[in-house]
Amino acid sequence: MYAVNYHKPASIEDAVAAIGGADEAKILAGGQTLLPTMKQHLAAPSDVVDIRGIGGMTDIAVRGDTVTIGAAATHAAVAGSNEVGSICPALAALAAGIGDPAVRHMGTIGGSIANNDPAADYPAGLLGLGATIVTNQREIAADDFFTGMFSTALEDGEIITAVSVSKPDRAGYAKFRNPASRYAMVGVFVAKTGNGVRVAVTGAGEDGVFRHAGLEAALAGNWSPDAVDAVEMSADGLMSDIHASADYRAHLIKVMAKRAVAAAG
Amino acid sequence: MSEGIGAAVKRKEDKRFITGRGKYTDDIRMENQAYGAFVRSPHAHAEIKGIDTSAAEAMDGVIAVLNGKQLKDDAIGDIITGWAIHSKDGNPMNVGAWNPMATARVRHVGEPVAIVIAESQAQARLAAEAVEVDYEELPAVAAATTALEDGAPLLHDNVPGNLIFDWEIGDEAAADAGLAGASHVTELDIVNNRLAPNAIEPRSAIAVYNDIDDHYTLYTTSQNPHVARLVLSAFYNVAPEHKLRVIAPDVGGGFGSKIYIYPEEITCLWASMKTGRSVKWTSDRSEAFMTDAHARDHVTKARMGFDADGKIVGLKVNTVANIGAYASLFATATPTYLYGTLLSGQYNIANVYCDVKAVHTNTVPVDAYRGAGRPEATYVMERLMETAAREMGMDPAELRRRNFITEFPHQTPVIMTYDAGDFHALLEKGQAAADVAGFAARKSEAASRGKLRGIGYSCYIEACGIAPSKAVGSLGAGVGLWESAEVRVNPVGTIEILTGSHAHGQGHETTFAQVVSDRFGLPMDNITIVHGDTDKVQMGMGTYGSRSGAVGMNAIVKAMDKVEAKVKKIAAHTLEASEDDIVIEDGEVKVAGTDKKMAWHEVGLAAYTAHNLPDGMEPGLKEGAFYDPTNFTFPSGTYICEVEVDPETGVVEIVQFTAADDFGTVINPMIVEGQVHGGVTQGIGQALLENVVYDEDGQLITGSYMDYCMPRADDVPSYVLEHSTTVAPSNPLGVKGCGEAGAIGSPPAVINAITDAIGNNNLTMPATPQKVWAAIQEVGLPQAAE
């Protein structure tokens, strides 16, 4: 790792100031992607600004039918949260299946979605649930937040503070792990919400997480695994690598969609 | 006795290993220690036009930046391959020169070009990034079959067509005739996938040069420190042997990858002399993927012919073996004398022929890795047998039974003389333990859950304990493959055993002590094993090829024979009895049939006080022996794998794996069990998960665990283990060796089980979910699952 200046501000204002005062700052939350990247000299920020000490950043609270999860809440905290479980057990289950125990006790929900790894789980969960991403500047709908592989709607210096999720009627997640990395090679999150059926796919798209209109239409008409069978699945726009061709990923999207619907009940 | 041969004694060494108090090379800190970081080629093939070190030299903490030309100017030798192979036309092999650091051309990604020595590891690494190497890229080739094609990029001027040798074994005309007369011929195209070794401890070295005595000490992660010293002295001109001490302390796994003396260790020694500082280098995992010798990487066409009764009448095998950019120490032996010689398997075959073309490519050198040649041979044989049985509509076990060798010694047509085995017994034990009779019911139960269940066999034989020096010498080996031992009985009767074997996870401190405990009836706690230091142990050939038991332990036995003879002389003299009447048991030296006796330690004391020894006897009680075996040993076994395949995804679950092995005499069944667990898990890794992938330009795609898939605990089942023993006649202990068997025997059992489940023989390793799913699509779902 190259030499780097480390900041741990206690407030959003101090964090913004630290970011603004640096040549090239990176926000550090759980560090599960950033730190390995820095160790391999693939990232070389001048400063890292650790946001875990900011008040409220790890809070999880329910108001009405909505749970708000602090950006620095770890995957383990989300997985074990009664509040998350009361609103969306599928999201808690998704968190419980990220990485391994060490990763889950360090990695955070805000860090995961800010990085928007095309094989990460949370982007599928939040896009599938139509979540709202709260920053120090505004609120962003998940549909507008995830803008492509490793890219988001976040502006320079904008800090995610929380994520809020409203209770779906039903939701489920199924993923097929990459045998080596155990990231999602295909992950499908399905949700039946007051605003209709949403299906989000991670691990497969060349542009990162995406909603699948064909699956959404089929499941809106008939919420059952069988409804998935008739959906035309194109390999266009899907990733192809040494682990899985685009065709195999297209096939797995259907299989995982069926399993996600079955898990959702 | 409870601690003797056959007792499942807990491992003495585990207390320090599991409490984190092992002492590995990187744990060692020297005074005035500096750190080395290598500048490595990002290109698979390129000319070096220039190296600009000025920026790096000016950086904080940098002591020196040294390159390959300086190293060559100091007469440090090129890296050798230790086994001379001749092509079938009689010509000696052609291998490209291997400079420890590249001087003019780089030939694989990761090849070292320069080393930075700095005060800290971070400073060394930063400065290494600042060294500017001017490369002119050349076309590269990564696949061995492509490298043989006309017009392929050529790696070495002295290796036309990239062909190192075109070797053969067996009688081609006889094999052709056998195949021509066969009533059925099974033909397979086989790829044995390339592996990366991945010992848990990466390679590491600390080189310490003492200018007062002009003496070098190298602490390093080695499976054979004496061989390292020999090669560093005799071939690399680092220092004469008496001025070079090599210490291999605790080593965290090797699997073959730590046999070799790599560029980094040589360079650290030389750099220590150049800088006057102790130089430490520890590989990170990324470097390990780019520099530790890879394994396997064969492309094979195999044809096996059968008569109407299912008897094998001919076998012909044509293999292209990828050797990588340079020929590493055992690289030329592995795909020849450790491969072609096992192509008779457990079967009585009159006509076997094998041709192997060894090829340079722009990849990391390929060398011996757990099994080394024998997994490749077993995979060819056992895929052929299972596939042939299916094609002929026979039970695969019955086909094997009809061809088993039943009389020993048995001379195969490919050099080996099998000296003992009972293959029918192994198959029966394996089938009983695996409940083969109940398979049909399990298959239909699995089908009711939507799963495809399959069963596959592998009946392996391997040759290990390598081996008689005279025999390997006649086949081209550059060294003898004996082992040495010294038994030191202290005046108080405790014993130190010095051995040339090296333990890097195998548990020698326990098993070797058990052999001594068994012989003299002494508690294991009174026995210490000393190894891994050329200043303590005079000479040794090290640990690989499952040879520590079959060769190393038998050297101890030979030394104990001499100790016992002297002990009996002393006791007979003291007790006024005949030597022939002296017996040693339970820690006492007795006159048989009387109550006259001496305690073991009293004999020790008598030897050292020397107040009353027989006339002419030297004082002391210390004996050494060199043991050279008379034959390889031949472990064998039947492995039976059962899988369930999810037809929707292609995911394979190994639901049962049975290993019935014949390892000869077993010293510690618990340790042997552990060796089988580890070996089979590595074999399952090869069959299902592991694969080194280069792209067409020679870039390493699988350079980290994000892409290179190691087996995890949840990838493997709880194993069912059985033994059926025939004692090895070639050594006093009757042991055969167990370190590699699991990795040798298991891959074909796994693939045979999957291909049985899906009804398609067209499947290559690693059988990833994608490949299995595609193979199912190719033939459609078997009826039972629909």
Binning pLDDT at 50, 70 and 90, where does residue B786 land?
very low
Q: What is the pLDDT of residue B785?
A: 46
Whether residue B148 lies inside any domain: the answer is: no
Distances (CA, A) of B183 to B43, B158, B301, B307, B310: 51, 45, 20, 5, 9
CB contact under 8 A, B770 and A243: yes
- Under an 8 A CB cutoff, do B707 and A248 touch? no
B768 close to A (CB below 8 A): yes
List CB contacts of B576: < 8 A, sequence separation 6 or more: none
Q: Which of A32, A33, A37, A243 to mutate to test the interface with B (most CBs of B within 10 A)?
A: A243
Contact of B699 with chain A, judged by CB distance below 8 Å, is answered with: no
In chain B, residues with a C-beta closer than 8 Å to the C-beta of A243 are: 707, 768, 770
A180 → closest Cβ in B129, B648, B706: B706
* Paired tokens of B233: 């002295």
**Chain B residues closer than 8 Å to A203 by CB:** none
Same domain, B619 and B638: no
Q: Which of A32, A175, A181 to mutate to probe the B interface, most B CBs <10 Å?
A: A181
3 state DSSP class of B249: coil
Same domain, B97 and B204: yes
- B433 shares a domain with B459: yes
Please report the residues numbered 95 through 124 in chain B whose beta carbons come closer than 8 angstroms to any beta carbon of chain A: 122
Whole-angstrom CA distances from B450 to B351, B650, B786 are 44, 12, 8
pLDDT in tens, A104-146: 999 999 999 999 999 999 999 999 999 999 999 999 999 999 9
pLDDT tens figures, B674-729: 999 999 999 999 999 999 999 999 999 999 999 999 999 999 999 999 999 999 99
Mean per-residue pLDDT of chain B: 96
Domain boundaries, chain A: 5-51, 60-166, 170-264
Work out the minimum CA distance from B774 to partner chain A, whole angstroms.
8
Check pLDDT > 90 for residue B1. Answer: no
Return the CATH number of the domain spanning residue range A60-166. Answer: 3.30.465.10
Measured between CA atoms, how close is A19 to chain B, in angstroms?
25
pLDDT at position A9 is: 97
Same domain, B102 and B220: yes
Query: Residue B1 corresponds to which amino acid?
Result: M
Asked if A165 contacts A87 with a C-beta cutoff of 8 angstroms, the reply is yes
pLDDT greater than 80 at residue B784: no
Q: Least CB-CB distance to B649: which of A40, A176, A245?
A: A176
Which of B571, B593, B627 finishes a domain? B627
**CA of B656 vs chain A CAs: smallest distance (Å):** 20
Interface contact A251-B773, CB threshold 8 A: yes
Residue B783 confidence (pLDDT): 61
Asked if pLDDT for residue B580 goes beyond 50, the answer is yes
In a domain, B153, yes or no: no
Nearest Cα residue in chain A from B286: A40
* B613 in the same domain as B561: yes
- Whether residues B348 and B451 fall in one domain: yes
Q: Are B258 and B504 in contact (CB under 8 A)?
A: yes
Q: Which residues of A touch B707 (CB under 8 A)?
A: 180-181, 242-243
Query: What number does CATH give the domain A5-51?
Result: 3.30.43.10
Bridge partners of residue A47, in order along the sequence: A5, A25
What is the pLDDT of chain A when averaged over all its residues?
Answer: 97
The last residue of one of the domains, among B599, B627, B655, is B627
Contacts of A176 in chain B (CB under 8 A): 649, 769
Is the confidence at residue B440, as pLDDT, over 80? yes
Q: Under an 8 A CB cutoff, do B126 and A2 touch?
A: yes
β-partners of residue B360 are: B324
How many CB atoms are located within 10 Å of the residue B152 CB?
18
Q: Is B60 exposed, middle or buried (0-12, 13-18, 19+ CB in 10 A)?
A: exposed
**Chain B residues 488-517 within an 8 A CB cutoff of chain A:** none
Q: CB–CB of A248 and B701 under 8 A?
A: no
Q: B467: pLDDT confidence band, cut at 50, 70 and 90?
A: confident
Q: Please check whether residues B230 and B326 belong to one and the same domain.
A: no
Residue B114 lies in a domain: yes
Helix, strand, or coil here: B409? coil
User: How many structural domains does chain B have?
Assistant: 3
CB contacts, 8 Å: B702 with chain A: 180, 242
Whether B140 has a pLDDT exceeding 80, the answer reads: yes
- When CB atoms are compared, the residue of A179, A245, A251 closest to B709 is A179
Please check the confidence at residue B649 and state whether its pLDDT lies above 60.
yes
B648 → closest Cβ in A41, A242, A255: A255
Domain encompassing residue B593: 482-627
B716 in reach of chain A (CB within 8 A): no
Q: Which residues of chain A have pLDDT under 50?
A: none
Residue B78 sits in a domain whose CATH number is: 3.90.1170.50
Span B379-386, average pLDDT: 98
Query: Is residue B102 domain-shared with residue B249, that is, in the same domain?
Result: yes
HSE-CB of B406 using CA atoms within 13 angstroms: 8
* Percent of chain B topping pLDDT 70: 99
For the residues B5-17, what does the mean pLDDT come to? 96
How close, in Å, is residue B705 to chain A by CA atoms?
6
Residues of chain A whose C-beta is under 8 A from some C-beta in B? 1-2, 40-41, 176, 179-181, 242-245, 248, 251-252, 255
CB atoms within 10 A of CB A2: 14
| Contact B713/A at CB under 8 A | no
pLDDT single digits (tens) A50-73: 999 999 999 999 999 999 999 999
Let me know whether B644 and B760 are in one domain.
yes
Q: What is the CATH number of the domain that holds B363?
A: 3.30.365.10
What local confidence, expressed as pLDDT, does residue B506 receive?
Answer: 94
Please name the residues in contact with B531: beta carbons below 8 A apart, sequence gap of 6 or more. B498, B499, B500, B501, B502, B503, B508, B537, B540
Q: What's the N-to-C CA distance of chain B in angstroms?
A: 58
How far CA B337 is from CA of A179, B207, B371, B506, in Å, comes to 35, 35, 13, 25
Residues B681 and B562 in one domain: no
* Co-location of B490 and B458 in the same domain: no
Does B615 map to a domain? yes
Tell me the two tokens of residue B306. 């059968």
Cβ–Cβ below 8 Å for A248 and B770? yes
B176 occurs within a structural domain:
no
Contact A243 B707 (CB under 8 A): yes
Q: Are residues B249 and B360 in the same domain?
A: no
- pTM of the model as a whole: 0.97
What pLDDT digit, counting tens, does each position of B159-205 carry? 999 999 999 999 999 999 999 999 999 999 999 999 999 999 999 99
Instruction: Band the pLDDT of B478: cuts 50, 70, 90.
Output: confident
**Which residue in B59, B194, B195, B648 has the most chain A C-beta atoms within 10 A of its own C-beta, making it the best mutation to test that interface?**
B648
Q: What is the pLDDT of residue B535?
A: 96
CATH no., domain A170-264: 3.30.390.50
Q: Tell me how far apart the alpha carbons of residues A76 and A101 are, in angstroms, rounded to a whole number.
A: 8
How far, CA to CA in Å, does B485 sit from each of B516, B517, B518, B559?
12, 16, 17, 7
pLDDT in tens, B607-635: 999 999 999 999 999 999 999 999 999 99
